[in-house]
Amino acid sequence: MLAKNSPRPWAPIVAPALLLLVLIGAVAGNGGLRQMLVQAWGRMDPWAVAAVLPVQFLAILLCTAAQQTLKVGIPFRYSLVARMVRDAAHNLLIFPPGLGEVVGARMVVLLGGRGRAAIALRALDMSAEILAEIPYLLFAGWVLWTWWRGGGDMSAARQGLPQGSLAVAALLLLALGWAVWRWLRGSGFWARFWHGRQGRRLRAEWHLMRRELARQKTGMPLAIGLHFLAWGLSAVQMWVAGQVLGFHLSLFAALAVESAATSARVVLFFIPGGLVMQEAGAVVAGAAMGLAAPQALALSLVLRLRDVVFGLALLGWPVLEYRVRRRGI
């Protein structure tokens, strides 16, 4: 009985893991994609990665300032550490989905913030990021639509994209959701949970959380503006990388490619790490801007390697956990 009712910590990663395996399998089984990846890697230059790091750090500072407008309750320098670790977890710890936000909230607590305030912060900050991304998403859509109506040829971009993998991934996700819904409906789980002790505690906690959200959300307009500027710096990074790699990329084209790549990650959030999706968005938008597929893919790889470099900040998480436990907090 104990084994039957015990939690299954691996359950949340099953669906995203299967989706990721489908996408990786589609890439591995496509000779054109493998060749494109080899060509893109051959165009890589470590100096391109190094050149974007200062711009990315400036973007992180803007995101940290956005956190501070939401009354995080810790000094800016601590908030910067929390943001860097959160970003590192978001980009590298892709299982289970949303782990980066959990780590970000935990870091705020470890650095002196209150637990409820940290949760509210992550919810509001994530919302501000998504809202700030909407203009870039619309811009990417406008560029692709204009290019398509003008007679743009998608065939070159399609050659490297996994055929049918998105449809398979969507069907897999829908099937899993349907199975879980049927199980919960038949088991009476929600009724027992909502009217039981845990349900009462949840309703009480939600009442307190609403008060915390109301206190923090007064800084949302400024947070959205700061995140908008931070997203714009991602396009600057794409432009800088293009100059180093010798692609002669205009800032307008860099903005289009980066907007499409990032929008693909945001829209298809259930794909772990946006793997393949970011690259697909870059390749398609790159074709609209006159970039060869390996060139656009190389730009996306620069951003991936940038994330790996900043991912070293993740080492600060276990260090802080150790220090807090040693003090007995």
Predicted structure pTM score: 0.77
What pLDDT, in 10s, does the model give residues 224-247?
A: 999 999 999 999 999 999 999 998
Arithmetic mean of pLDDT, 13-30:
62
Residue type (1 letter), 73: G
39, pLDDT greater than 50: yes
CB 62 within 8 A of CB 233: yes
Instruction: Please give, one letter per residue, the 3-state secondary structure of 69-134.
Output: HCCCCCCHHHHHHHHHHHHHHHHHCCCCCCHHHHHHHHHHHHCCCCHHHHHHHHHHHHHHHHHHHH
* 184-230 tens-digit pLDDT: 555 555 555 555 555 555 555 555 556 666 676 788 899 999 999 99
Q: How does pLDDT run across 240-293, given as a tens digit for each residue? A: 999 999 988 889 999 999 998 888 887 777 677 777 778 888 888 888 888 888
> Please, which pLDDT band fits residue 78 given cuts at 50, 70 and 90?
very high
The pLDDT of residue 204: 53
What is the structure's pLDDT at 160?
A: 43
pLDDT confidence band for 179 (50 / 70 / 90): low
Residue 157 — very low, low, confident or very high, per pLDDT cuts 50/70/90? very low
pLDDT at 167 over 80: no
User: Is pLDDT at 163 greater than 90 in this prediction?
Assistant: no
In whole numbers, what is the pLDDT of the chain averaged over residues? 78
What pLDDT is recorded for position 165? Answer: 47
**CB distance 302 to 241 below 8 Å:** yes
Which percentage of the chain shows pLDDT scores above 90? 29
Residue 117 has a pLDDT of 82
CA atoms within 13 A on the CB side of 294: 13
